[in-house]
Amino acid sequence: MTEESKKQRQFEAKIDLMRERIKDSDDFKVLDEVFDRRVLMDLYALASKGVISSLGGAVSTGKEANIFRAKGEDEKDLAVKIYRINTSNFKAMQNYLLGDPRFGSIKGTKRAIIAAWTRKEFRNLRRAEEVGVKVPHPIVMRENILVMEMVGDVETPAPQLKDVTLEPKEAELAFEKITEYISLLYNKANLVHADLSEFNILYHEGEPVIIDMGQSVTLEHPMARSFLERDISNLARYFKKKYAVGSEEAIKEKIRAGKAG
């Protein structure tokens, strides 16, 4: 056997192994779409490093990414977010990347843009965590794959804020917490979430957890200010309508206070 075909055989074997690891994933249409050979190889590499020990079914199938359940070292519950390379939205991704000084010169292949996007989400989560915002702890990223802590557990991932109904007191606390997080992001992490809504906030053990930070931008981004305005108005609208608590002004006040302090 030539060196080349030997390599090829090893490659196939690794792919088979990874397929074996994910065979209990439930949605096969998704499987084919998401788990192309490169993704399988990257997952294999993550498995070899001991980051992932097994991969389970989908938690969510979004427009640009799929979230899978996984187990990590010590059987820790993980969420694996895999951005689809063929996402139609990568033009928009480019716009969010352009104004960010951390990602000055991204070469224009889809693959490179999505890898940069994944890295951006990883860093944004890390930065948010550093300043005290509750987010899923980011563990590692590789190409278009982001491995993070599972909020909740693999059997029952934490629900989105939109799917829970809080008691009045809980709603008030949740609003306050999220308001504090917007302020911490802005004043301490130099970030604006830029897609904050009841869809991208989970509710776990009586507390909101902020997720989905791929599109989050630093304050240097030309649209940062208007993204912040949009986040504020989404959040205030949701809490006002569902719980009759909070206001845009309360959020802005908190941000101003955070700037001073």
Ligand X SMILES: Nc1ncnc2c1ncn2[C@@H]1O[C@H](COP(=O)(O)OP(=O)(O)OP(=O)(O)O)[C@@H](O)[C@H]1O
Q: Could you give the residue numbers annotated as active site?
A: 195, 212
Span 85-144, contacts to ligand X by CB under 6 A: 136
CA distance 171 to 115: 37
72 binds, among ligand X, Mg ion, none (CB under 5 to 8 A by kind): none
Shortest distance, CB of residue 84 to ligand X, whole angstroms? 8
Q: Find which of ligand X, Mg ion, none residue 11 binds, CB within 5 to 8 Å per kind.
A: none
Closest CA to 83 of 104, 98, 61: 61
Residues in 30-59 at the binding interface with ligand X, rule: CB under 6 A: 59
Minimum gap (Å) between residue 143 Cβ and ligand X: 16
The first and second tokens of residue 253, run together, are: 């006040």
Whole-angstrom distance, CA of residue 8 vs CA of residue 12: 6
* 158 touches, from Mg ion, ligand X, none (C-beta below 5 to 8 Å by class): ligand X
Q: Rule CB under 6 A: is residue 158 a binding residue for ligand X? A: yes
14/96 with CB nearer ligand X:
96
For residue 137, give the DSSP letter.
Answer: P
Q: How far is the CB of 194 from ligand X (least distance, A)?
A: 12
Binding mask 191-220 for ligand X (x = CB under 6 A): --------xx-x--------xx--------
User: Is 238 in contact with 164 (CB distance < 8 Å)?
Assistant: no
Place of tokens 């187990």: 71
Residue in this structure with the two tokens 């991969």, named with its chain if needed: 55
Q: Which of 56, 72, 157, 208 binds ligand X (CB under 6 A)?
A: 157
Host H or E run for residue 107: none
Tell me which long-range contacts 29-38 makes (C-beta under 8 A, separation of at least 24). Answer: 30/58, 30/61, 30/66, 33/84, 33/86, 34/66, 34/82, 34/84, 36/85, 38/143
Residue number with CB closer to ligand X (197 or 247): 197
Binding-site ranges for ligand X (CB under 6 A): 59-60, 62-65, 67, 79, 81, 136, 148, 150-152, 157-158, 160, 199-200, 202, 211-212
